[in-house]
């Protein structure tokens, strides 16, 4: 251990006046028995430095050994490393002005006389400075001048663990979260394995668990947060996910979004999609200019809403599963699961995930689950929504020959009922929208009117074509 490290250890957690354990007051005369009577603050400070054999700059560097200076959003800030139980390191950021105000009572003696310790440290070339800023670099060595925010996983893997040691977790994932769907279960397990084997990569696909309260979806979200430690960020407000001030995401590698997203928020939808798929993120803190960071997020979501996500026809950004009710509100079951996790299950689970062979796993090959199909149907809007509703009607209501104007008029009535004000309702636009889904011929009617009409397929065939285009096995109501 170097001299500076020893000094840093001495001052770690020491209060302002504790650095002067004996001579922390100044009196007019010499205390009885005192060998070094002091009459000024400068003499008190100088005496203590001599006892420690330090000059003022070394003393300042020792006292602020857990501090450093870096830049963010074009501004310089001072950061303090705070060690949490379990070895986690949290960063406390403050402005330069606030730092000097906080430590204004601390003094050291230098060649210039008694000075504020904070200012001696701040002007010292020996302080830690990261001109390249702060970056999250899991499993990487930080370039010169860059502070690596990555502090490791939330626990150490148990390399002696076997699959039997995580059987409770595997059962929960397969039969509760995935409802017994083997394909969905294997994908989810590999998705989790990819997250821990590639902590520096974005997942590109978000996991969405839909189910009632007390069904166990929050348990899995909690596991992901625990595995990523301080880099796992629970999100309980939509603003924290898609709001303007999102600087907290810079140190995040995994997010658990618990009942904090509304699929009808179109502006938020676009931001969510960028969080899932964009290579870089544009972040912003209060009083700091926006800055970009590499996207390393793995996103897991839990909700009980019928319409949970904005799912497109060819959706590949979301893996969606319908959570089973089989252990809903089963307090004994969840107590056993918590006990297992807290008694080493977390370490065993991490170790097994790190061993899974992902050589043949393609994270973008998302299973087309029934739950994802339902989200596609819930996300239909405008003309697509109207056509789906039309296809759910009875055989007697379905007409294979309709004029373009007749179809356009039906769509206008639909928009009025729904309050849709900005849809294109011209016969040409409606005809084009229908042809996106169905094989339709445009024909001339018989004399004398000779109107243009659209020859639609029979109802069963139209339903088949619609379901094929959206890639959903639809249970038609009629």
Confidence of residue 11 (pLDDT cuts 50, 70, 90): very low
pLDDT given at position 40: 54
Span 29-49, mean pLDDT?
Answer: 52
Least confident stretch, 50-64, 272-286, 321-335: 50-64
pLDDT tens digits for 66-99?
Answer: 999 999 888 999 999 998 776 778 899 999 999 9
What share of the chain in percent tops pLDDT 70? Answer: 88
Query: Is pLDDT of 237 > 70?
Result: yes
* Count of CB atoms situated within 10 Å of the CB of 260: 19
Domains of the chain: 43-131 (no CATH), 166-375 (3.40.50), 380-470 (1.10.10)
R_g of the chain computed on alpha carbons: 32
Q: Are 407 and 454 in contact (CB under 8 A)?
A: yes
Tokens of 244: 């303007």
pLDDT tens digits for 436-474?
Answer: 999 998 887 777 767 778 999 999 999 999 999 999 999
Q: Are 387 and 437 in contact (CB under 8 A)?
A: yes
Give the C-alpha separation, 207 to 205, whole Å.
7
Q: Check residues 237 and 383 and name the one with the higher pLDDT.
A: 383
Query: Is pLDDT of 18 > 70?
Result: no
Task: Read off φ and ψ for residue 257, nearest 5 degrees.
Answer: -95, 105
- Give whole-number Cα distances, 477 to 47, 87, 176, 471, in Å: 89, 57, 28, 18
Angle between helices 383-391 and 404-418 (to 10 degrees): 100
Give the C-alpha separation, 99 to 120, whole Å.
12
pLDDT given at position 30: 42
HEC profile for 14-81? CCHHHHCCCCCCCCCCCCCCCCCCCCCHHHHHHHHHHHHCCCHHHHHHHHCCCEEEEEECCEEEEEEE
Q: Given its phi and psi angles, is residue 423 left (phi above 0), alpha (psi -120 to 50 degrees) or beta?
A: beta
């Amino acid at each position: 251990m170097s001299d500076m490290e020893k000094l840093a250890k001495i001052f770690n957690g020491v209060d302002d006046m504790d650095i002067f354990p004996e001579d922390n007051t100044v009196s007019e005369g010499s205390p009885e028995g005192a060998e070094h009577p002091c009459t000024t603050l400068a003499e008190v400070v100088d005496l203590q430095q001599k006892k420690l054999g330090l000059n003022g700059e070394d003393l300042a560097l020792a006292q602020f050994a857990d501090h450093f200076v870096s830049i963010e959003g074009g501004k310089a800030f001072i950061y303090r490393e705070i060690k949490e139980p379990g070895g986690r390191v949290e960063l406390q950021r403050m402005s330069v002005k606030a730092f000097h105000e906080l430590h204004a009572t601390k003094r050291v003696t230098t060649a210039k006389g008694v000075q504020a310790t904070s200012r001696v440290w701040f002007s010292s070339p020996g302080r830690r400075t990261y001109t390249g800023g702060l970056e999250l670099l899991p499993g990487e060595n930080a370039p010169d001048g860059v502070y690596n925010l990555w502090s490791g996983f939330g626990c150490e893997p148990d390399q002696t663990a076997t699959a039997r040691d995580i059987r409770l977790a595997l059962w929960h994932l397969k039969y509760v979260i995935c409802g017994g769907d083997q394909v969905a279960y294997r994908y989810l397990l590999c998705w989790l394995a990819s997250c821990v084997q590639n902590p520096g990569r974005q997942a590109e696909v978000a996991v969405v668990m839909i189910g009632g309260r007390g069904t166990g979806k929050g348990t899995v979200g909690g596991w992901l947060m625990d595995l990523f430690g301080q880099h796992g960020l629970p999100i309980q407000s939509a603003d924290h996910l898609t709001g303007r001030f999102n600087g907290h995401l810079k140190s995040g590698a995994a997010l658990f979004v618990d009942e904090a997203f509304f699929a009808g928020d179109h502006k938020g939808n676009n931001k969510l999609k960028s969080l899932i798929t964009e290579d870089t993120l544009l972040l912003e803190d209060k009083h700091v200019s926006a800055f970009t960071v590499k996207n390393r997020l793995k996103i897991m979501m839990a909700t009980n809403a019928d319409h949970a996500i904005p799912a497109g026809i060819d959706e590949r950004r979301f893996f969606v599963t319908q959570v089973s009710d089989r252990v809903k509100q089963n307090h004994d079951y969840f107590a056993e699961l918590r006990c297992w996790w807290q008694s080493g299950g977390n370490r065993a689970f991490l170790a097994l995930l790190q061993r899974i062979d992902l050589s043949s796993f393609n994270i973008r090959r998302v299973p087309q689950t029934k739950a994802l199909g339902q989200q596609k149907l819930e996300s239909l809007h405008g003309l697509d929504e109207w056509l789906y509703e039309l296809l759910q009607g009875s055989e007697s209501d379905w007409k294979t020959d309709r004029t373009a104007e007749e179809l356009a008029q039906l769509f206008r009535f639909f928009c009025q009922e729904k309050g849709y004000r900005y849809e294109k309702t011209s016969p040409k636009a409606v005809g084009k929208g229908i042809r996106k889904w169905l094989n339709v011929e445009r024909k001339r009617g018989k004399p004398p009117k000779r109107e243009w009409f659209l020859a639609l397929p029979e109802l069963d065939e139209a339903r088949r074509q619609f379901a094929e285009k959206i890639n959903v096995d639809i249970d038609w109501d009629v």
